[in-house]
Chains A and B, each alone.
Chain A
Amino acid sequence: MRRSPNDDPDRLAPSEVDAALRQLWENPADFVRAKSLARARAAGLIDYSAEDLLQEAMVKLLSGDRRWPRGVHPLVVLTTAMHGIASNIRKRTNTGAINRHVAVEAAEGELEDSQEVVAVEQVTPVEVANATSELAEIQRLVAGDEDVELVVLAWADGLRGKEAADELGFDMKRYEAARKRLMRKLEPVQALRRES
């Protein structure tokens, strides 16, 4: 039997998750931070917006499907949840057995009369190719701005701040300028997707 979220003293109970989220959203800047992280993580997902991702993370934390460890910063918890959800969506997309646009039902009569059910990869090769690497969409967005491309790579290597700047051979002014351009480029990911 699955353990109830209320049974584990190291995780927040659903009512505590509700209170923690309510407290987090008291500061609108934290909502902007959460949306920015959602945009970065939703990049490359098919038919899934940043808002969808943030909403689902809250649902899963409130329902107890995802754990909220006691004492961890709410934005870290939300980011981890969104990352897990996005990874699962990507796996389902890449290993999807059937075309989601085809209704499946028990066949009656000759099989040659029915529509062939095809792998999702065969339906949307361009989209799936774009989703091959988790960072591909972000790298595509910053392509052409060499400094920003390098900051993305440094962050992907686990470097940040002065450590990243030193590794890239940037002074802090150059690093900060590239970092700000990166954040600006991340902002419209979903807006561009909806327009296309």
Chain B
Amino acid sequence: MSSDKSHKTPMENFLDSYLQDLLTMSDKDILNDEDPASLKAEALQMLELAKTIAGKQRLASAKTQMASTPRTVVEQLRNVSIAEARAYLTKAANDPRFTLAARELGEMSDEDVIMLYQQIRLLEEPDDNNSGGA
């Protein structure tokens, strides 16, 4: 807990004092008659369970993000005009990350231009859409 007791609630102060008290007691006094081996086993069992639960939560969170974000992106990309898409692809033709000949753009149908635009934009999306996992 923080070091400034003037901003603490009574419970926070109480826990601080209790913690300090517990830390000043010897391990022997703390353990009293309890079996150290079974306590350690119990602690590690709780840790393993906590790791499993935390892992599942992270996976569920990542799945939710993966499921929702691409839909939003695709929805945004659908609304682009053919002029915007062509302008974007012309610019992308000079981007070394993409292999795209500028001369081919003039020969492409509007439908192909929109499709290519969407593909490139999705490739450019941050890791959330392209990492393939959490």
**A residues with CB within 8 A of B:** 1, 14, 18, 21-22, 25-29, 31-33, 36-37, 40-41, 51, 54-55, 58-60, 62-65, 75-76, 79-80, 83, 134-135, 138, 152, 154-161, 164, 179, 183, 186
- Residues of B whose CB lies within 8 Å of any CB of A are 1, 5-6, 8-23, 27, 30-31, 34, 36-37, 39-40, 42-44, 46-47, 49-51, 53-54, 57-58, 126, 128
A-B contact count (CB 8 A): 121
Please state if A155 and B18 are interface contacts (CB–CB under 8 Å): yes
**In the assembled complex, which residues on chain A have CB atoms less than 8 Å from the CB atom of B34?**
28, 32
Secondary structure call for the B interface? helix
A179 touches B21 (CB 8 A): yes
- Chain B residues with CB under 8 Å of A79's CB are 1, 15, 19
Cα A64 to Cα B54 with chains together (Å): 9
**Extra contacts besides A22-B47, A55-B53, A59-B50 (14): CB < 8 Å:** A28-B31, A28-B39, A40-B14, A54-B46, A58-B50, A63-B54, A63-B57, A65-B57, A83-B11, A152-B14, A154-B17, A155-B13, A155-B17, A160-B16
